[in-house]
Structure 1
Amino acid sequence: MQVVNLAIMRRKAKHYTLEFKQKAVELSYAKGSVAQVCEDLDILPAVLYRWRKEQKNYGKNSFPGRGNPKMTDQQKEIARLKKQLKEAELERDILKKAIGIFSASDKKNTGS
């Protein structure tokens, strides 16, 4: 009885560079045939269609890399502003505490 190694049968996940994805999408529009481009580049049609959709939806923000969310320019700006607001609130809270500490210290020093 032969044991078939399932790992060999399964297609190994490939990781493509940003440049490769961009060129594949450009080529698919230029040639007009997704099937031909997929055959030439040895990628699955579903993958190329996903890349085309992503580039259409996110433009220059497409393909941000593993673990990084895809965001539109507006979403990026909102995230940046939220981060800036959080930092400003933290600074404000620190200053409030410092004022409280110095006020308490002044009262003790003046004997009030």
Structure 2
Amino acid sequence: MKKRYYSPEFKEQAVRLSDQRDNIKELADELGIEVQRIYKWRKTATLPKPEKPIPDDTLELKRLRKALKEKELDLRN
């Protein structure tokens, strides 16, 4: 069986419609897709985009640079 492709616009519209409807099964039947697919799209649409984690050593480096600047300022005064 050939794998079906759904455009991002179709997915967004299906998710929007599913938020407005009480019966998602009826919506899935109208759109000609499986109910599970709508739930999957809803789940991925509500998940926040993952951010790139900042390594601990980067945070430590920032903290040390700040402390160094403060000490340099103290020595000037």
User: Which residue number in structure 2 is paired with residue 32 of structure 1?
Assistant: 22
**Stretches of 4+ aligned residues off by more than 4 angstroms:** none
Structure having the higher Rg: 1
Gaps of 5+ in 2: 55-77
Distance in 2 (CA, whole Å) between partners of 1:21 and 1:56 is 13
Q: How many residues align?
A: 54
Q: What corresponds to 2:40 in structure 1?
A: 50
Q: Deviations over 1:35-91 (max 9, x none)?
A: 011000000111111001111113xxxxxxxxxxxxx1x51xx28x8xxxxxxxxxx
Q: What letter matches 2:4 in structure 1?
A: K
Higher RCO (CA-CA < 8 Å; seq separation 6+) = 2
CA distance in 1, matches of 2:38, 2:15: 7
Amino acid at match of 2:43: K
Deviation at 1:25? 0.5
Counterparts of 2:5 and 2:43, CA distance in 1:
18
TM-score normalised by L of structure 2: 0.61
User: RMSD across aligned C-alpha pairs, in angstroms?
Assistant: 1.9
* Match status 1:19 vs 2:9: yes
Identical counterparts, % of pairs = 28
How far apart, CA to CA, are the structure 2 residues paired with 1:40 and 1:22?
16
Residue 41 of structure 1 is aligned with which of 23, 28, 31?
31
Instruction: In structure 1, list runs of 5 or more residues that go unmatched.
Output: 1-9, 59-71, 82-112
CA distance in structure 1 between the aligned counterparts of 2:24 and 2:4, rounded to whole angstroms: 19
